[in-house]
Amino acid sequence: MLTKRIIPCLDIKDGRTVKGINFLELKSVGDPVEMAAAYSGQGADELVFLDISATIEGRKAFSELVERIALRINIPFTVGGGISTVDDAAVLLRAGADKVSINSAAVRNPFLISDIASRFGAQCVVVAIDAKNVDGVWKVTTHGGSRFSDLELFSWARRAESLGAGEILFTSMDHDGTCSGYACAEYSRLSQMLGIPVIASGGAGNADHIMEVLSPSGGNADAALAASIFHYGDVRIPDLKRKLEGCGIPIRM
């Protein structure tokens, strides 16, 4: 059985890790390079870095940050934010990232998924999906959940897989920031219908939420992503992993 993964997520703005609510009232919570090294030392399985202020001018600065991160850690990491072309992905992968995450750009141009996968391999492509439940239909959103597309979560995830996505990172915008737990039923359904790993994001408030979304009887996700609970020390990765192992969830210690 494949081990489950614990993935801290760091939102980057102007070279600093920030945290807020719906990208508002952002405040710095630390240096991303030092935080990355600390999480790697604590036993995180992977890391995700999202450049939430990505611009043409900022791309070089972000790629330089990626290079600095790559020198300090020995675990895989994914970068995203503003990636809209194969060349954008190439810059970050050459800088040392193991994977790139694409979201709004993939909705606009689904063949960006296959273009990146064809050049670098499906293992490098994470398709992030932000969706909201509207009258029982999970509608895919873009631009941080502020705009609705005409796509539906499950059909879009299946198509992304067919185009070459190596992983799906689904964030429930209804749960994000609530600290009330993940959308476990949706992760369970995604895991059953897809042949690629599913990363759960949005709603983690404590260790029990992570245990639930990774459990076969819960969300059965392949990985759990979280930010605040790790950044503020509410949950420590070594303690979390011991709890998961004690409950029979396969995890790398």
Residue 142 lies in a domain: yes
**What are the pLDDT digits (tens) for 161-220?**
999 999 999 999 999 888 899 999 999 999 999 999 999 999 999 999 999 999 999 999
CATH for 100: 3.20.20.70
The one catalytic residue in 88, 130, 174, 176 is 130
130 assigned to active site: yes
The answer to whether residue 251 sits within a structural domain is no
Domain membership of residue 104 (yes or no) is yes
- Using a CB cutoff of 8 Å and minimum separation of 24, what contacts does 105-113 make? 106/160, 107/140, 107/142, 107/149, 107/151, 107/156, 108/84, 108/142, 109/84, 110/159, 110/160, 110/163, 111/163, 112/84, 112/85, 112/86, 113/160, 113/163, 113/164, 113/165
**Residue 73 within any structural domain of the chain:** yes
Residue 253 lies in a domain: no
Whether residue 252 is contained in a domain is answered as no
Domain range enclosing 203:
5-246
Write out pLDDT tens, residues 132-178.
999 999 999 998 788 999 999 999 999 999 999 999 999 999 998 88
Q: How many domains does the chain have?
A: 1
Instruction: Check pLDDT > 60 for residue 25.
Output: no
The pTM of this model reads: 0.94
